[in-house]
Amino acid sequence: MKELDPVILLAVFQEMLGPLLWILLAVAILGLIAFAMLLVREKGLVSRRLVRSEVLGVVGGALALVLMAKASSSGFTDAAGPADWFLIALVFGVGLVGSTILVYTIAGWWTARR
């Protein structure tokens, strides 16, 4: 594979995750839209809510690693080279950031509803 083709990546992720891929993509897109709307509504970030969301984001990063281990045929003991460990760190980082944004957004709209 000499070039990075998005269609091939989509096919690989579809094979690994199945219908969960589309659910995760929908949650990510809707979560980002809700986050942007919340930022516009509140005119900035609320620091106390952000810190609490970051703490729960660590749990989300760990859950992303569990999902990665379940979706792939290999586990963490199979990681051999730096590329494997970089991918593990990347999955944890994406899970951390994504769950932080989702928790912040849900908490923000929850308090706005009260």
pLDDT by residue, tens only, the chain of 114 residues: 577 788 887 888 888 888 888 998 999 999 999 999 999 999 999 999 999 999 999 999 999 999 888 887 766 677 777 877 888 888 899 999 999 999 999 999 998 777
Model pLDDT, residue 6: 83
Neighbours of 88 (CB within 10 A): 16
Give the distance, in angstroms, between the CA of residue 18 and the centroid of all CA atoms in the same chain.
17
Count of CB atoms within 10 A of residue 100's CB? 20
**Do residues 69 and 105 touch, judged by C-beta distance below 8 A?**
no
Q: Cα separation of 24 and 88, whole Å? A: 18
